[in-house]
């Protein structure tokens, strides 16, 4: 049975225990052994980090919830885990609820953006560049892993297709 690490900010949700159980059941029902960071009994930052790194190293793939968390972008810990998995050569499937773009996300979370016609670039209200590659997230995540629209179930199905079709 192939092992999948479940990355994402779900561990911070008010119903994190319930979500982790649902996620693990979905994985098991579809023939994968779930590796969930919530299963670790660690309580210090260093121990949690080391436990998650060990789980990723033992995984065959990573399924990552890349929905915006506490802002316009994915959870920073999840982004790190994705990068670490990519560096190890693991397949990573990231999932987001639905089609969106970085432009849309910045507008939603930080207010109006505008096109600087002289530079032909989108800027936020602080005059910082806003990526405009028609991607659902920062290009480093969007280009490094496969992004699908949907939830964990759709990511599991995509991973099955990738390995078994």
Domains contained in the chain, CATH given: 2-99+136-164 (3.40.50.450), 101-135 (no CATH)
Q: How far apart are CA 165 and CA 161, in angstroms?
A: 5
**pLDDT greater than 90 at residue 42:** no
**105-141 pLDDT per residue, tens:** 999 999 999 999 999 999 999 999 999 999 999 999 9
- Mapping DSSP onto H, E and C, the string for 107-147 reads HHHHCCCEEECCCCEEECCCCCECCCCCCCCCHHHHCCCEE
**pLDDT greater than 90 at residue 56:** yes
pTM: 0.95
Q: How far apart are CA 67 and CA 70, in angstroms?
A: 10
Q: Cα separations (Å) of 62 from 54, 90, 110, 140, 153? A: 13, 7, 30, 16, 13
Taking alpha carbons only, the member of 42, 33, 45 closest to residue 6 is 33
pLDDT at res. 78:
98
Q: How far apart are CA 92 and CA 66, in angstroms?
A: 11
**83-97 pLDDT per residue, tens:** 999 999 999 999 999
pLDDT at res. 108:
94
């Amino acid at each position: 049975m192939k092992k999948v690490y479940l990355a994402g900010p779900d561990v911070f949700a008010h119903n994190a225990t319930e979500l982790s159980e649902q996620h693990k059941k979905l994985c098991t029902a579809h023939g994968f052994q779930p590796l969930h960071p919530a299963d670790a009994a660690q309580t210090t930052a260093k121990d949690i980090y080391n436990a998650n790194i060990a789980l990723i190293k033992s995984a065959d793939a990573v399924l990552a919830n890349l929905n915006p968390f506490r802002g316009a972008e994915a959870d920073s810990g999840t982004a790190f885990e994705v990068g670490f998995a990519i560096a190890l050569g693991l397949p990573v499937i990231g999932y987001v609820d639905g089609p969106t773009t970085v432009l849309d996300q910045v507008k939603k979370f930080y207010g109006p953006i505008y096109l600087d016609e002289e530079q032909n670039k989108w800027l936020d209200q602080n005059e910082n560049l806003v990526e405009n590659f028609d991607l659902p997230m920062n290009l480093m995540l969007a280009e490094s892993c496969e992004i699908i629209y949907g939830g964990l179930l759709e990511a599991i199905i995509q991973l099955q297709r990738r390995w078994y079709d």
